[in-house]
Every structure is written in C-alpha cells, then in structure tokens.
Amino acid sequence: MSKTEIQAVLSGLNLHPSRRLGQNFLCDGNLLRAIVRDAAPAPGESILEIGAGTGVLTAGLLAAGCQVTAVEIDHRLHEHLGIRFGDSPRLRLVRADACRLDYDELMGSAPYRCVANLPYSVSTVVLTRLCEAANPPTALLILLQREMAERLTARPSSKAYGGLTVQTSLLYEAHLLRRVPPEVFLPPPAVESALLRLTRRSDAAPAAERRLAGDVARLAFGQRRKRLGRTLASRYGAERVGAALQRLGLDPNVRPEELAPERFIELARLL
C-alpha cells in the first residue's frame, strides 16, 4: 500500500495515529518486499505478527502461504483487518494487548516464528515475554528502534549492553540486517529504526534458568555503575554472593557490564 492508500484507510477509520501505541505504519513497498524476502516464509509455516496495523505485512505473509496469527490492540484496525482479510482461512486475528498475552496459550507447542513491525513503546515487554515463554519463537524478524536493536546486538563492556541484551542473548543470536530511515513510515517516527534477526540458539539453557539469569541481570543492571557483589548482596546476602563469585573466579568488584551472558546463567545457578 502506498502512503496515499494508507492515509485513505486511516481517515476512513477516523484514526489519528497514536504515539502511545507506536502507530507508525509502513508505507514503503520496497522495504516491505525486502522484509518478506528476508523472512522467507514457507507455505504452511506458522507466523506470529504483533501489531498488524493496516495489514501491509500480514498481506505479504498470507501471500507467501503462511498460517498467520496477527495480534492488534486497536479495535478500529482489528475491525479493518477482519474486513480486509475476512475470507482468509489462514489468518487468525487476535484483538489483544501483546504485553499481556500468554504466548504459550496463543501459539501452542508447535514451532513458529515472529515477523513484525513492533510497536516501539512495548517492544521490550513483548520481547521479554516471548523469551520467557516455554515455547518461544524459533526466530524473529522484527523492525524496532535502532537504539533498541543496538542494545540487542551489544557486546559486554559496551554502553548499550544491559539486562535485555543478556536475556535475549541467552536464547537468540542477534543480527542487525539493515537500518531503516524514518521516512518509510506514516507518520515518520522521531528516531531511526532497524531490521533485526534473532535466531534461536541450539545450546540455550532451559527456560527456568534463563528466567532466573534474567532476574539477576535486571537487578545487576539496575545499578550498572555499582560493583556486582554489592548489588547482588542486597537480595541474596553478602555471604552467598561472595561464595558464588569466588566459585566462578570473579572479582567481587566486577561491574555487571563486564560479564558475558553465560556468566549470568552460572551466577543464577549458584545463587
């Protein structure tokens, strides 16, 4: 859909894009085709799309023959999607808040991937929930704020490295595929975006351990300037933390950003 066509849909719905809902609609056919090409969806494959909006990406995924579960919170867009794709047996439309969904209940136990132009305001929460699912997506191809993509691909000891980096890296390998300028969206967001691929690791730790490691990382990065030993002691007690750090051969003065993601798993196991 061109910019004019999307504008016409929005005014037909009397919808003024909401910043709170991250309503920046994709209006660049070339980028859209590139996303579908990068996703390389296989006929019959199960795909989760979060924030389907006017359905531009949904249409590309359906055309590739996928089974699409499309989540949208806005009732006007949900209704529009129902009318636009009403006769498609391969589309399951879900009107829900992606931050509150139980993804195991929604997607079941079969493998699926997530392809989405994520609402930026909720991308951290949604990613955390997906990572914590018992059956997380096997891979994700997502458009998000460039700054967020940089956090997800950050290396230890860099400024962008943080709790979210740790949590996602324990499950996925992240690759930034392309930077995306604001002009491809209607309305253009204030910041640059990026297309990111996350591919599930074959050696990922079990979900319960990753969840614990995520908790430890969040606590640690809540005070990223402080020494790790001190921050963790506030919850786990100085003695236990001291013993765990010693066992791992870690200096109690180490800062959280110096620890690779796997070390948080080791720490969480001991704590």
Binding residues for ligand SAM (CB under 6 A): 21-26, 50-54, 56-57, 71-74, 77, 97-99, 117, 119, 122
Taking the C-alpha atoms of residue 170 and residue 34, their distance in angstroms, rounded to an integer, is 28
C-alpha to C-alpha distance for 142 and 45, rounded to whole angstroms: 17
Closer by beta carbon to ligand SAM, 119 or else 256: 119
Of 163, 162, 161, 168, which is closest to residue 140 (Cα–Cα)?
168
Measured from the CB of residue 114, what is the shortest distance to ligand SAM in angstroms?
Answer: 12
Of all residues in the chain, what percent are helix, strand and coil, respectively (each to 5)? 45, 20, 35
CB nearer to ligand SAM: give 24 or 168.
Answer: 24
Q: Least distance in Å: CB of 87 to ligand SAM?
A: 20
69 backbone dihedrals φ, ψ, rounded to 5°? -105, 110
Q: Which residue, 15 or 219, is less far from ligand SAM as judged by CB?
A: 15
Smallest separation, CB 92 to ligand SAM (Å): 14
Q: What is the largest CA-CA distance in the chain?
A: 64
The distance of closest approach from Cβ of residue 21 to ligand SAM in the complex, given in angstroms and rounded to an integer, is 4
Whose Cβ is closer to ligand SAM: residue 57's or residue 212's? 57
Length of the chain: 271
